């Protein structure tokens, strides 16, 4: 996620980091080449009776804008839902640890429970990003549960199961009343819903056929557009054609980037920072100092 202070409008026009220009730069250069070809060959294909007008491109451009808008809305809805799920997970973690600390348990038991909570968050992040969770889980997991979680092919689900086991043990010992157990079990169920919701987003992309037809139509539109503009614009064709193509190509690229909000692109969710935020919050509630440092954006102002 890009973390950038407020910029003057002119500096924002020239901003490069976080924009999709690096991704569509080659396709824009192809549009420039086609614009030059249209200018050079204009007299030749006019003599053959081939004449493109802007009328069909106007109709097609309106249809493309509508469909790209739908596609961007669908992608942004996935991004927003993912962020909402991670925000609700932080709330559930705080509520769980607060409930644990309200019963007469020593600090070691509370830290054990918090360690499982933090391991669940980090293992969920690694699962969504298909990365190796071993280092983080080794650091966070209590020794008693380490082998069980690390040996599981689905460590996030296993960590959640261990949280339930821990809660059941305290209930059997009489440390947790039935009413409190039920409330805490509801928070565990909410964590399970968050995990399932994120798995659903990650494993169910926008239908490929829908993305393919938009990609092909946008590419064909941008390729042929200079030949429709050259009769009216002549030498200004490359400038206008690239500006229009930039709009359509950028919208398509942004929608593809937001479709998977759990990645490591510039505009994806900062899962590393969210996990550290959860860890800091739980350690502070346990008086477990020093806290890990606050995540900071890198040199490109990107927070991962």
Listed in sequence order, the residues at least 6 apart from 230 whose beta carbon sits closer than 8 Å to its beta carbon are: 35, 38, 39, 42, 237
pLDDT of residue 59: 84
What does the block give as tokens for 276?
Answer: 């550290």
Interatomic CA distance for residues 207 and 211, integer angstroms? 7
- Per the listing, tokens 């059997």 go with 172
The pTM score is 0.88
Interatomic CA distance for residues 272 and 94, integer angstroms? 18
Q: Do residues 249 and 219 touch, judged by C-beta distance below 8 A?
A: no
Sign of CA dihedral 17, 30, 222, 239: positive
> CA of 112: how far to CAs of 48, 61, 122, 161, 290, in Å?
80, 59, 16, 14, 17
pLDDT, one tens digit for every residue, the chain (304 residues): 666 666 666 666 666 666 788 888 899 999 999 999 888 887 777 767 667 777 888 888 888 888 888 889 999 999 999 999 999 999 999 999 999 998 888 888 889 999 999 999 999 999 999 999 999 999 999 999 999 999 999 999 999 999 999 999 999 988 888 888 999 999 999 999 999 999 999 999 888 888 888 899 999 999 989 988 888 888 888 999 999 999 999 999 988 888 999 988 878 899 999 999 999 999 999 988 899 988 877 766 667 7
Interatomic CA distance for residues 224 and 241, integer angstroms? 10
Length of the chain: 304
Interatomic CA distance for residues 135 and 200, integer angstroms? 26
Q: Do residues 137 and 123 touch, judged by C-beta distance below 8 A?
A: yes
């Amino acid at each position: 996620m890009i973390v950038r202070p407020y910029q003057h409008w002119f500096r924002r026009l020239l901003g490069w980091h976080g924009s999709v220009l690096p991704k569509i730069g080659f396709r824009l250069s192809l549009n420039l080449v086609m614009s030059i070809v249209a200018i050079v060959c204009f007299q030749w294909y006019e003599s053959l009776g081939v004449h493109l007008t802007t009328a069909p491109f106007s109709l097609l451009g309106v249809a493309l804008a509508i469909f790209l808008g739908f596609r961007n809305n669908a992608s942004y809805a996935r991004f927003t839902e993912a962020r909402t799920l991670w925000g609700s997970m932080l709330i559930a973690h705080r509520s769980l640890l607060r409930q644990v600390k309200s019963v007469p348990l020593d600090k070691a038991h509370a830290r054990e429970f918090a360690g499982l909570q933090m391991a669940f968050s980090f293992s969920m992040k690694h699962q969504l990003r298909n990365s190796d969770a071993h280092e983080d889980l080794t650091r966070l997991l209590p020794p008693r549960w380490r082998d069980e979680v690390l040996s599981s092919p689905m460590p996030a689900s296993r960590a959640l199961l261990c949280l339930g086991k821990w809660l059941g043990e305290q209930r059997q010992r009489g440390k947790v009343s039935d009413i409190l157990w039920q409330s805490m079990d509801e928070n565990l169920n909410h964590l399970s819903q968050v995990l399932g919701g994120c798995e659903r987003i990650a494993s169910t992309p926008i239908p490929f056929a829908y993305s393919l037809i938009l990609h092909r139509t946008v590419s064909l539109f941008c390729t042929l557009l200079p030949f429709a503009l050259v009769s009216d614009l002549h030498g200004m064709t490359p400038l206008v054609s690239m500006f229009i193509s930039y709009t359509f190509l950028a919208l398509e690229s942004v929608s593809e980037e937001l479709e998977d909000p759990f990645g490591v692109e510039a505009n994806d969710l900062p899962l590393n920072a969210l996990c550290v935020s959860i860890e800091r919050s739980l350690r502070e509630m346990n008086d477990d100092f020093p806290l890990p440092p606050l995540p900071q954006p890198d040199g490109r102002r990107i927070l991962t």
